Amino acid sequence: MSRRSFEAPAEEHPFHVGDGSVDLVLERLLGPGGGLVTAAAVVPAAARCERTCGESEPGDGGGRLTAFHRAIVPRRGHGAIAAGPYDRVVTGRQEVLLVAATPTELGGRPGLACGIGPVEAAVAVAASLSVARPPAVVHVGIAGGRGLPIGTVVVGERSRYVDLAAAIPVVACVDPDGALAAAVAAAVPGARRLPIATTAAVGTCGTVADAPPVEAMEGFAVLRACALAGVPAVELRVISNEIGEVDRSQWDVPGALARLDDALALALPAVERAVGAARRR
Protein backbone atom coordinates (compact mmCIF):
# COMPACT_ATOMS: atom_id res chain seq x y z
CA MET A 1 0.00 0.00 0.00
CA SER A 2 1.37 3.38 -0.98
CA ARG A 3 1.79 5.80 1.90
CA ARG A 4 2.61 8.80 -0.24
CA SER A 5 1.24 12.05 1.13
CA PHE A 6 -0.46 10.17 3.95
CA GLU A 7 1.90 11.50 6.59
CA ALA A 8 2.11 15.07 5.35
CA PRO A 9 3.04 17.65 7.99
CA ALA A 10 0.10 18.57 10.17
CA GLU A 11 0.32 22.23 9.22
CA GLU A 12 -0.54 21.34 5.64
CA HIS A 13 -4.02 20.14 6.58
CA PRO A 14 -5.25 21.80 9.77
CA PHE A 15 -8.87 21.37 10.80
CA HIS A 16 -10.22 24.62 12.16
CA VAL A 17 -13.67 25.02 13.65
CA GLY A 18 -15.49 28.31 13.89
CA ASP A 19 -12.80 30.52 12.38
CA GLY A 20 -14.33 30.89 8.93
CA SER A 21 -12.50 28.02 7.29
CA VAL A 22 -12.45 24.27 7.28
CA ASP A 23 -9.16 23.11 5.83
CA LEU A 24 -9.18 19.59 4.50
CA VAL A 25 -6.87 17.98 2.01
CA LEU A 26 -7.71 15.95 -1.06
CA GLU A 27 -5.59 12.91 -0.46
CA ARG A 28 -5.43 9.54 -2.20
CA LEU A 29 -4.66 6.84 0.33
CA LEU A 30 -4.25 3.96 -2.09
CA GLY A 31 -2.90 3.74 -5.60
CA PRO A 32 -4.96 3.98 -8.81
CA GLY A 33 -7.79 1.55 -9.25
CA GLY A 34 -8.72 0.86 -5.67
CA GLY A 35 -8.84 1.95 -2.09
CA LEU A 36 -10.21 5.08 -0.54
CA VAL A 37 -10.13 8.75 -1.29
CA THR A 38 -10.86 11.73 0.87
CA ALA A 39 -12.52 14.59 -0.89
CA ALA A 40 -12.00 18.08 0.46
CA ALA A 41 -10.37 21.39 -0.28
CA VAL A 42 -8.89 24.39 1.44
CA VAL A 43 -11.69 26.91 1.01
CA PRO A 44 -13.45 29.52 3.13
CA ALA A 45 -16.29 27.89 5.00
CA ALA A 46 -18.76 30.54 3.88
CA ALA A 47 -18.06 29.86 0.22
CA ARG A 48 -18.18 26.11 0.81
CA CYS A 49 -21.49 26.45 2.62
CA GLU A 50 -22.94 28.67 -0.09
CA ARG A 51 -22.11 26.13 -2.78
CA THR A 52 -23.42 23.10 -0.96
CA CYS A 53 -25.91 24.21 1.67
CA GLY A 54 -27.03 27.50 0.21
CA GLU A 55 -26.76 29.18 3.58
CA SER A 56 -24.38 30.37 6.25
CA GLU A 57 -24.73 30.97 9.94
CA PRO A 58 -25.64 34.57 10.81
CA GLY A 59 -23.32 36.66 12.92
CA ASP A 60 -20.24 34.49 12.63
CA GLY A 61 -18.21 36.43 10.12
CA GLY A 62 -19.19 34.52 7.03
CA GLY A 63 -19.87 30.92 7.82
CA ARG A 64 -19.59 28.69 10.86
CA LEU A 65 -19.29 25.00 10.14
CA THR A 66 -18.79 22.79 13.16
CA ALA A 67 -18.06 19.61 11.27
CA PHE A 68 -18.16 19.90 7.51
CA HIS A 69 -16.40 17.76 4.99
CA ARG A 70 -16.95 15.48 2.11
CA ALA A 71 -16.23 12.20 3.76
CA ILE A 72 -14.14 9.26 2.75
CA VAL A 73 -15.90 7.08 0.22
CA PRO A 74 -15.09 3.82 -1.56
CA ARG A 75 -13.69 4.09 -5.06
CA ARG A 76 -15.57 2.51 -7.95
CA GLY A 77 -13.22 2.03 -10.88
CA HIS A 78 -11.60 5.38 -11.52
CA GLY A 79 -14.25 7.44 -9.78
CA ALA A 80 -15.68 7.80 -6.32
CA ILE A 81 -19.17 7.86 -4.90
CA ALA A 82 -19.72 11.39 -3.68
CA ALA A 83 -20.83 11.10 -0.10
CA GLY A 84 -21.37 14.80 0.34
CA PRO A 85 -21.21 16.91 3.47
CA TYR A 86 -22.76 15.79 6.71
CA ASP A 87 -23.35 19.22 8.17
CA ARG A 88 -27.07 19.60 8.93
CA VAL A 89 -28.05 16.01 8.24
CA VAL A 90 -31.10 16.90 10.30
CA THR A 91 -32.77 20.25 10.72
CA GLY A 92 -31.46 22.54 13.40
CA ARG A 93 -27.97 23.06 14.72
CA GLN A 94 -26.87 19.54 15.65
CA GLU A 95 -24.50 17.81 13.26
CA VAL A 96 -25.16 14.08 12.98
CA LEU A 97 -23.30 11.75 10.64
CA LEU A 98 -25.63 9.51 8.65
CA VAL A 99 -23.86 6.36 7.39
CA ALA A 100 -25.13 3.82 4.86
CA ALA A 101 -23.45 1.27 2.64
CA THR A 102 -24.75 2.92 -0.53
CA PRO A 103 -25.94 6.36 -1.60
CA THR A 104 -29.33 4.80 -2.37
CA GLU A 105 -29.85 3.95 1.29
CA LEU A 106 -29.01 7.53 2.25
CA GLY A 107 -32.12 8.49 0.30
CA GLY A 108 -30.72 11.75 -1.01
CA ARG A 109 -29.64 12.90 2.44
CA PRO A 110 -26.09 14.09 3.04
CA GLY A 111 -23.94 11.52 4.74
CA LEU A 112 -21.26 8.89 4.28
CA ALA A 113 -21.64 6.09 1.72
CA CYS A 114 -19.18 3.74 3.42
CA GLY A 115 -19.21 0.88 0.93
CA ILE A 116 -20.56 -2.65 1.13
CA GLY A 117 -19.29 -5.16 3.67
CA PRO A 118 -17.59 -4.98 7.05
CA VAL A 119 -14.09 -4.16 5.80
CA GLU A 120 -15.10 -1.22 3.60
CA ALA A 121 -17.40 0.09 6.31
CA ALA A 122 -14.86 -0.12 9.12
CA VAL A 123 -12.10 1.58 7.14
CA ALA A 124 -14.31 4.34 5.74
CA VAL A 125 -15.99 5.20 9.04
CA ALA A 126 -12.75 5.09 11.03
CA ALA A 127 -11.04 7.34 8.51
CA SER A 128 -13.97 9.75 8.46
CA LEU A 129 -14.03 10.00 12.26
CA SER A 130 -10.30 10.70 12.24
CA VAL A 131 -11.01 13.85 10.23
CA ALA A 132 -13.93 15.18 12.25
CA ARG A 133 -16.01 13.72 15.06
CA PRO A 134 -19.77 14.26 14.92
CA PRO A 135 -21.76 14.13 18.17
CA ALA A 136 -23.56 11.00 16.95
CA VAL A 137 -23.64 8.48 14.10
CA VAL A 138 -26.82 6.95 12.70
CA HIS A 139 -26.12 3.86 10.60
CA VAL A 140 -28.98 2.89 8.29
CA GLY A 141 -29.83 0.42 5.58
CA ILE A 142 -31.91 -2.55 4.50
CA ALA A 143 -31.43 -6.04 5.90
CA GLY A 144 -32.55 -9.63 5.79
CA GLY A 145 -34.77 -11.00 8.53
CA ARG A 146 -35.77 -14.38 9.90
CA GLY A 147 -39.51 -14.67 10.44
CA LEU A 148 -39.99 -10.90 10.26
CA PRO A 149 -42.45 -9.25 7.88
CA ILE A 150 -40.84 -7.36 5.03
CA GLY A 151 -40.92 -3.67 5.88
CA THR A 152 -40.31 -4.22 9.60
CA VAL A 153 -38.24 -1.41 11.10
CA VAL A 154 -35.49 -2.66 13.40
CA VAL A 155 -33.43 -0.65 15.86
CA GLY A 156 -30.37 -2.65 16.78
CA GLU A 157 -30.07 -3.56 20.43
CA ARG A 158 -26.71 -5.23 19.75
CA SER A 159 -24.53 -5.83 16.71
CA ARG A 160 -22.81 -9.20 16.46
CA TYR A 161 -20.03 -10.08 14.03
CA VAL A 162 -20.83 -13.69 13.14
CA ASP A 163 -17.92 -14.35 10.76
CA LEU A 164 -15.35 -14.71 13.54
CA ALA A 165 -14.09 -18.14 14.54
CA ALA A 166 -11.09 -17.29 16.69
CA ALA A 167 -9.65 -19.58 19.36
CA ILE A 168 -8.76 -16.61 21.57
CA PRO A 169 -11.14 -14.01 23.02
CA VAL A 170 -12.11 -11.34 20.51
CA VAL A 171 -14.57 -8.48 20.38
CA ALA A 172 -17.54 -9.85 18.45
CA CYS A 173 -20.39 -7.73 19.80
CA VAL A 174 -20.96 -4.03 20.22
CA ASP A 175 -23.95 -2.26 21.69
CA PRO A 176 -25.48 0.97 20.39
CA ASP A 177 -25.70 4.08 22.50
CA GLY A 178 -28.64 3.41 24.81
CA ALA A 179 -30.11 6.91 24.67
CA LEU A 180 -29.96 7.06 20.87
CA ALA A 181 -31.48 3.59 20.46
CA ALA A 182 -34.30 4.42 22.84
CA ALA A 183 -34.97 7.72 21.08
CA VAL A 184 -35.12 6.14 17.63
CA ALA A 185 -37.30 3.23 18.77
CA ALA A 186 -39.74 5.60 20.43
CA ALA A 187 -39.89 7.88 17.39
CA VAL A 188 -40.74 5.23 14.78
CA PRO A 189 -44.10 3.49 15.28
CA GLY A 190 -43.81 -0.28 15.19
CA ALA A 191 -40.02 -0.31 15.39
CA ARG A 192 -38.58 -3.40 17.05
CA ARG A 193 -35.46 -3.60 19.21
CA LEU A 194 -33.55 -6.67 18.02
CA PRO A 195 -29.94 -7.85 17.75
CA ILE A 196 -28.46 -7.56 14.27
CA ALA A 197 -25.84 -9.87 12.77
CA THR A 198 -23.02 -8.55 10.61
CA THR A 199 -21.59 -10.88 7.98
CA ALA A 200 -19.64 -10.57 4.74
CA ALA A 201 -21.64 -13.46 3.26
CA VAL A 202 -25.36 -12.72 3.31
CA GLY A 203 -27.72 -15.64 3.70
CA THR A 204 -25.35 -17.59 5.94
CA CYS A 205 -26.75 -16.58 9.31
CA GLY A 206 -29.16 -19.47 9.16
CA THR A 207 -26.18 -21.78 9.63
CA VAL A 208 -24.77 -19.90 12.64
CA ALA A 209 -25.83 -21.11 16.07
CA ASP A 210 -27.96 -18.59 17.94
CA ALA A 211 -27.61 -16.10 15.09
CA PRO A 212 -29.58 -12.86 15.48
CA PRO A 213 -32.88 -12.64 13.58
CA VAL A 214 -31.63 -9.75 11.45
CA GLU A 215 -28.72 -9.94 9.01
CA ALA A 216 -26.76 -7.11 7.41
CA MET A 217 -23.19 -6.49 6.27
CA GLU A 218 -21.85 -3.36 7.96
CA GLY A 219 -23.41 -2.72 11.37
CA PHE A 220 -20.74 -4.20 13.63
CA ALA A 221 -18.00 -2.48 11.63
CA VAL A 222 -19.66 0.93 11.85
CA LEU A 223 -20.56 0.69 15.53
CA ARG A 224 -17.16 -0.74 16.48
CA ALA A 225 -15.34 2.10 14.70
CA CYS A 226 -17.58 4.56 16.51
CA ALA A 227 -17.00 2.88 19.88
CA LEU A 228 -13.23 3.06 19.44
CA ALA A 229 -13.52 6.75 18.52
CA GLY A 230 -15.82 7.49 21.44
CA VAL A 231 -18.73 8.53 19.21
CA PRO A 232 -22.26 7.36 20.18
CA ALA A 233 -23.97 5.40 17.42
CA VAL A 234 -27.14 3.53 16.61
CA GLU A 235 -28.16 1.13 13.82
CA LEU A 236 -31.51 1.39 12.03
CA ARG A 237 -32.59 -1.21 9.48
CA VAL A 238 -35.65 -2.14 7.45
CA ILE A 239 -36.27 -5.76 6.45
CA SER A 240 -36.26 -6.29 2.68
CA ASN A 241 -36.12 -10.10 2.48
CA GLU A 242 -36.14 -13.36 4.36
CA ILE A 243 -32.65 -14.55 5.29
CA GLY A 244 -31.55 -17.28 2.89
CA GLU A 245 -34.18 -16.47 0.24
CA VAL A 246 -32.32 -16.88 -3.05
CA ASP A 247 -35.27 -15.90 -5.24
CA ARG A 248 -34.82 -12.16 -5.40
CA SER A 249 -38.27 -11.71 -6.86
CA GLN A 250 -39.43 -12.40 -3.31
CA TRP A 251 -37.40 -9.47 -1.99
CA ASP A 252 -38.90 -6.00 -1.74
CA VAL A 253 -35.95 -3.63 -1.89
CA PRO A 254 -37.92 -0.63 -3.23
CA GLY A 255 -40.55 -1.05 -0.52
CA ALA A 256 -37.91 -1.39 2.18
CA LEU A 257 -36.11 1.71 0.95
CA ALA A 258 -39.35 3.69 1.00
CA ARG A 259 -40.04 2.49 4.53
CA LEU A 260 -36.49 3.42 5.53
CA ASP A 261 -36.98 6.92 4.18
CA ASP A 262 -40.17 7.30 6.22
CA ALA A 263 -38.44 5.96 9.33
CA LEU A 264 -35.52 8.34 8.93
CA ALA A 265 -37.87 11.31 8.68
CA LEU A 266 -38.97 10.45 12.22
CA ALA A 267 -35.73 9.07 13.62
CA LEU A 268 -33.30 11.84 12.71
CA PRO A 269 -35.13 14.62 14.56
CA ALA A 270 -35.32 12.28 17.57
CA VAL A 271 -31.56 11.76 17.40
CA GLU A 272 -31.07 15.50 17.14
CA ARG A 273 -33.11 16.02 20.29
CA ALA A 274 -31.19 13.29 22.12
CA VAL A 275 -27.88 14.87 21.12
CA GLY A 276 -29.11 18.26 22.29
CA ALA A 277 -30.25 16.84 25.61
CA ALA A 278 -26.88 15.16 26.14
CA ARG A 279 -25.06 18.42 25.46
CA ARG A 280 -27.16 20.26 28.02
CA ARG A 281 -26.40 17.74 30.76
Domain with residue 148: its CATH number is 3.40.50.1580
What is the secondary structure of 77-112 as a DSSP string? Answer: TTEE------TTSSSSS---EEEESSHHHHTT-SSE
Which residue range is the domain that position 110 belongs to?
76-280
One-letter amino acid identity for 95?
E
96 within 8 A of 138, measured Cβ to Cβ: yes
Picking from 16-25, 49-58, 111-120, which range would have the lowest pLDDT averaged per residue?
Answer: 16-25
Question: pLDDT tens, 223-246?
Answer: 999 999 999 999 999 999 999 898
Q: Look at residues 61, 26, 67, 25 and name the one whose alpha carbon lies nearest to residue 46.
A: 61
257 lies in some domain: yes
246 lies in some domain: yes
152 lies in some domain: yes
102 lies in some domain: yes
pLDDT (mean) for 245-249 = 92
Higher pLDDT, 43 or 201: 201
* Banded pLDDT at 207 (limits 50, 70, 90): low
204 lies in some domain: yes
- Taking the C-alpha atoms of residue 281 and residue 277, their distance in angstroms, rounded to an integer, is 6
Question: What's 250's DSSP letter?
Answer: G
pTM above 0.85, yes or no: no
48 lies in some domain: no
Picking from 56-60, 148-152, 155-159, which range would have the lowest pLDDT averaged per residue?
Answer: 56-60
Q: CA angle, corner 39, sides to 35 and 41, nearest 5? A: 145
14 lies in some domain: no
pLDDT at position 59, please?
A: 35
Looking at the predicted structure, is the pLDDT value of residue 24 above 70? no
Q: Is 194 helix (H, G, I), strand (E, B) or coil?
A: strand
Question: pLDDT tens, 59-92?
Answer: 333 232 223 233 333 333 322 333 333 333 333 3
39 lies in some domain: no
Q: Based on the structure, what is the number of domains in the chain?
A: 1
